[in-house]
Structure 1
Amino acid sequence: MYDNIEMTVEQQRKLEEGKIAQDTIEPPTPQRLPSILESRHRNGHMIHKCLLLTSCLVAIVAIITLGVVAGTKKKDKNDCNCIFTSSTEDSTSIQNLWYEITPKGKLPPERLAHAAETVSNEYLYIHGGMYGTGNISYNDIWRYHQDTNTWEELQTSGDDIPSRRLHHSMVNINNEQLLIFGGFNVFNTQSHHDSYNDLYSFDLSKLAWKKINANTNNWPTKRGAHDAVYVNGLMYMFGGYESIGSTGHLAEFWSYDPRSNLWTDLTQTDDDTYPVGRIGFTMADGGDGKIYLFGGACSDPSVSDSGQCSDSWKYEPFTNQWTRLYPTGNIPDSRRATHGDIAIYGLLFQYGGVNIQVIDSAPSITMFDDLHVYDPTSNMWMQLYPNYNRDPKPPAVFGHSVSRLGTRLVIFGGRIGSPASPGSNMLWEYEVPTPSSYLHF
């Protein structure tokens, strides 16, 4: 979700002039997919059949059926767009595709570091974000309708609406309202930016904003680059920092009850059983009533890999207990500014992100275009290879959002292809196959 590059103005100049070390993947030329493929993808009528073989992570051989088109000839690996469970030539595959979506009509302005949330598994809402180096920010709210493939900028009402902001959080409360908390007004490592700890509710039926005022002194401090999820009737929020460029990464953990308008500080102090402070991480509702936390940027050497957190955690709300996880499998490289706080079929998905290191006073940046899936039941990661080695597929990206629409992943926005990218309004969809098709933990 988050951009989170901490650099000086001089470093930013070097970045824009291309004088810093980069390891990026250039994006493919956008292509409009044939309408018949889009129609089949959207209506779920694409039918395929694949034979799934064992690999280093696969324990059993299974013949899996994603469907079969009558009379369709089985395709050679070089002729099909597939999900590969290994990057090698002998990897096993399942038919599936990334789709670049070209919506009809007006599009949202290009951006990154926005907030995104889905409603009723049908609509994608985005709010705010920034463009370029961060001196341009937004307070608009847009809604994407999957069935009509259109964006709509919502005309809202309310006496007090959120100001322009980025690196804020947004959660969906029972498909009735969206809650927005915190963020920054601009992205700048100098002192002339503001941070927020305000809380707003957006009524989805009335399209009306309402500022929620504190009824106690127990309220979180100003912050951005935190994350929040809504689980079991409460909004849970972790991390962030109070000013951009600060190394004082917050380890605060809060819950908010929208029914009583009460915040509860759940912060703990035991380093062995509690995550260290961080920014730009992934916090996910696992769909099992538990919360999962991965990666981000932090400075604690016990969990830090050159400034990127490499640890994973699980939180049990009913016992208020954190447990550090030690996953197996193809674990993603340490990164930040990624997003994947969604569960589909009980699995968590993560796409993209960035690894930022400072070498000789200049940032060295590696961007990612990989897709990983985490199974909470087996505590195992697997990397998937949609489309294998072929276009079209999403570019390397960070500062984007990854959301869920039904059984599809939806990627929107972010810096694409290069860390100097000003942002984008790209939209990609990926149909997630059932776990039995490729996961045999």
Structure 2
Amino acid sequence: MKNPFKKVRLFTVVAMLLSVCVFSSCDEDSDSEVLLGEWQKKSDFAGVARSSAVSFVIDGKAYVGTGYAGSIRLRDFWMYDPASNNWVKKADFPGAARSAAIGFSANGKGYIGTGYDGVNYLKDFYEYDPATDTWTQIEDFPASARYGAIAMSFADKGYVGAGFDGNYQKDFWQYDPATATWTEQVGLQGAKRLNGFAFTVNGKGYVGGGQNNSVYQTDFLEFDPATGQWRTLKSLASDQRPNEKYPTPRTYAATFTIHNNGYLVGGTTGTTSGNDVWKYDPATDTWTELGTFDGGIRDGAIGFGIGEYGYVGLGKSGSLRFDDLWQLNPSIVSE
């Protein structure tokens, strides 16, 4: 009698191999390489497990809040101190509970805005002062209400753009805390996108990933705030990066910056989440794969860099949501 489980086992093995390929690199070179970095589990997040939260860093401390717990959206707000490896509850975010918002820090204060409350796309914005643990509502985001936007900051100004308002967007705006005003910038040079990734390195911003009309985007862009202009870099595709390793297209990836490099962790292609880790070097426009994230596959996580270390936490895998936090030490070398 034929064993029906043989086919099941074979299918499972094939599926696992395909999943590794999807969230690795399109480069077929399998030569062994020296991988940098070691992950260490830190103190669990003190709030409920969630995905699509926001985070920003001020004076060596991370601030985390909002998000989606699977049945409810959230507005609680927390501070993580890496020196004591401890979470402290802060004043709740005063706007509507929401997920898929954006957060950034500028000029010593934090900002959270846009997002989705389960019914409405949002455009309200709030400023957080860590010195007094207080929130102040500022001028609304001047473009359309939306969720899944990107954000970045450079010293004393924040930038917000792209996302989804019923249509996919690629506009880009600057917020200046000194004048409490928004100013429209040159829009993204590449594609429109929802849930793209963004990070800053050495005074420039980098944007990629996301999807536009269900197409996962491969373009990769550099923004220079000094000139207000975008530059198109080599896309994350084999025709522009032959014989190179690079991350495959994705949404909901976590990012952070340390040691003059940008880092990209996990994300999803819509059907499969990943746990791959990538380091980007702007000086050479090259990507290096750093193995896998020890916290497992996930998307919709938070990421931030503080001092010598990078951090990734929260997020989800399927319907399972996480409340963990992991620290990457990139200076450790392993074979």
Fold equivalence (TM over 0.5)? yes
Return the offset for 1:93.
Answer: 4.8
Highest CA radius of gyration, 1 or 2?
Answer: 1
Conserved 8 A contact 1:124-1:143: yes
Q: Which residue of 1 aligns with 2:228?
A: 320
Residue 162 of structure 1 is matched in structure 2 by 95
What is the alpha-carbon distance in structure 1 between the residues aligned to residue 283 and residue 254 of structure 2? Answer: 21
Change in 2 beyond 3 A, CA 1:250/1:386: closer
State the Cα distance separating 1:320 from its structure 2 match: 2.1
* Alignment-derived partner of residue 10 in structure 2: none
Which of 91, 104, 118 lines up with 1:171 in the alignment?
104
Is 1:101 paired with 2:42? yes
Number of residues of Structure 1 aligned to a counterpart in Structure 2 = 305
The one-letter amino acid paired with 1:408 is: Y
Q: Which residue of 1 aligns with 2:267?
A: 353
- Residue 121 of structure 2 aligns with an amino acid whose one-letter code is S
Please tell me whether residue 234 in structure 1 is matched to residue 160 in structure 2. Answer: no
Is the partner of 1:333 in helix, strand or coil? Answer: coil
- Find the counterpart in structure 2 of residue 377 from structure 1: 283
Alpha-carbon distance in structure 2 between the residues aligned to 1:102 and 1:233 = 31
* Equivalence for 1:294: 208
State the distance in 2 between where 1:112 and 1:413 align: 6
Q: Verify: 1:401 aligned to 2:273, yes or no.
A: no
Q: Could you tell me how far apart the structure 2 residues matched to 1:210 and 1:257 are?
A: 15
Are residues 87 and 129 of structure 1, via their aligned partners in 2, closer, same or farther at CA, if it must alter by over 3 Å? farther
Q: Residue 120 of structure 2 corresponds to which residue in structure 1?
A: 194
1:210-229 to structure 2, matched below 5 A, reads: 210-213=136-139, 219-229=142-152
Q: CA deviation at 1:213?
A: 3.2
* C-alpha contact 1:97 1:386 (8 A) present in aligned 2: no
How do 1:308-347 and structure 2 match up within 5 A?
A: 308-326=216-234, 328=241, 329-340=244-255, 342-347=256-261
Larger strand proportion, structure 1 or 2?
A: 2
Structure 1 counterpart of 2:9: none
Task: Determine which of 158, 173, 183 is the counterpart of 1:254.
Answer: 173
Distance 1:150 1:274, change over 3 A: same
Equivalent position of 1:114 in the other structure? 53
The superposition leaves residues 331-389 of structure 1 with CA deviations (integer Å, 9 ceiling, x where unpaired) of 1011111021x321111000000002xxxxxxxx12111000111010111101269xx
2-side partners of 1:213 and 1:430: how far apart?
36
Between the aligned partners of 1:100 and 1:225, the Cα distance in structure 2 is 28
2:199 paired with 1:284: yes
Change in CA separation of 1:228 and 1:91 when aligned onto 2, cut-off 3 Å: closer
For residues 87 and 395 of structure 1, the distance between their equivalents in structure 2, rounded to whole angstroms, comes to 22
Give 1:221's aligned amino acid: S
Match of 1:128 among 66, 83, 92: 66
1:397-436 residue pairs with structure 2 within 5 A? 397-416=298-317, 419-421=318-320, 423-433=321-331
1:92 correspondence with 2:34 = yes
Residue 181 (str. 1) matches residue 113 (str. 2): yes
Equivalent residues of 1:87, 1:385 under 8 A apart:
no
TM-score (norm 2): 0.84
Cα distance, 1:166 vs structure 2: 0.9
* 2:35–2:289 CA contact under 8 A, matched in 1: no
Structure 2 distance, partners of 1:250, 1:427, is 31
Q: Which residue type is aligned with residue 189 of structure 2? A: Y
Unpaired segments ≥5 residues, structure 1: 1-20, 26-56, 58-85, 187-192, 300-305, 357-364, 388-392
Contact 1:400 1:414 in 2 (8 A): yes
> Is the 2:204–2:225 contact (alpha carbons within 8 Å) kept by the matching residues of 1?
yes
Tell me the distance in 2 between the aligned counterparts of 1:136 and 1:87. Answer: 44
Instruction: Measure how far apart 1:87 and its partner are.
Output: 6.2
Work out the CA distance in 2 between the residues paired with 1:149 and 1:263: 36
Partner SS for 1:352: strand
Structure 2: where are the runs of 5+ without partners? 1-14, 21-26, 236-240
Alignment correspondent of 1:35? none
**In 2, Cα distance between equivalents of 1:119 and 1:212:** 19
Contact 2:43 2:86 in 1 (8 A): no
Structure 1 residue 233 displacement after superposition? 2.3
